[in-house]
């Protein structure tokens, strides 16, 4: 297999901690440790996207004076009503609302729905947290 070299910049303190970690795990060098870390992330990513039983928590902060945003967010949730478990709406101040939406479904369903909600025009800040609904 052909190996390719690339440079990595890192704070000195972080590199020091990394060196201690890889030594304690018995790696011969940084390259070997980084390869393993990358592989681990790839496996998790694949596992996550294949996972069927997940719960997603979406939070949205938006200005409710933004034209048609309220009804747009409502419409998106109604379209996927079988995935939406619950939602909580808090009027943060005169302009801003916080909405927290609980979603169930496959990882893919949840990410798709979260993307349309977070990506709706006028949403100022949105986050998604996903957890497996039947952890081992
Ligand atoms: Ni509100």
Q: What are phi and psi of 95, to 5 degrees?
A: -100, -35
Q: What is the pLDDT of residues 46-92, one digit of tens each?
A: 777 778 889 999 999 999 998 899 999 999 999 999 999 999 999 99
How far is the C-alpha of 12 from the C-alpha of 104, rounded, in Å? Answer: 42
Whole-number Å distance, alpha carbon 63 to ligand 1 midpoint, is 8
**How far does the centroid of ligand 1 lie from the alpha carbon of residue 100, in Å?**
12
Cα 81 to ligand 1 centre (Å): 21
- Residues 40-44 have a mean pLDDT of 79
DSSP 8-state class, residue 25: T
pTM assigned to the model: 0.66
Cα–Cα nearest to 98, from 107, 89, 85, 110: 89
What is the CA(96)–ligand 1 centre distance, in A? 6
- Calculate how far, in angstroms, residue 99's C-alpha sits from the geometric centre of ligand 1: 8
Nearest to 100 by CA among 129, 78, 79: 129
Whole-number Å distance between alpha carbons of 107 and 54: 6
């Amino acid at each position: 297999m052909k190996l390719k070299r690339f440079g990595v910049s890192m704070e000195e303190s972080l590199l020091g901690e990394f060196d201690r970690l890889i030594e304690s795990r018995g790696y011969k060098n940084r390259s070997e440790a980084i390869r393993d870390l990358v592989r681990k992330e790839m496996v998790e990513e694949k596992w996550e996207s294949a996972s069927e039983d997940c719960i997603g928590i979406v939070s949205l902060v938006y200005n409710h004076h933004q034209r048609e945003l309220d009804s747009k967010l409502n419409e998106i949730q109604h379209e996927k009503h079988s995935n939406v478990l619950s939602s909580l709406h808090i009027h943060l101040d005169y302009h801003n609302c916080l909405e927290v939406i609980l979603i169930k479904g496959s990882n893919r369903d949840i990410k798709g729905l979260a993307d349309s909600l977070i990506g709706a025009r006028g949403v100022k800040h949105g986050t998604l947290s996903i957890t497996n609904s039947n952890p081992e």
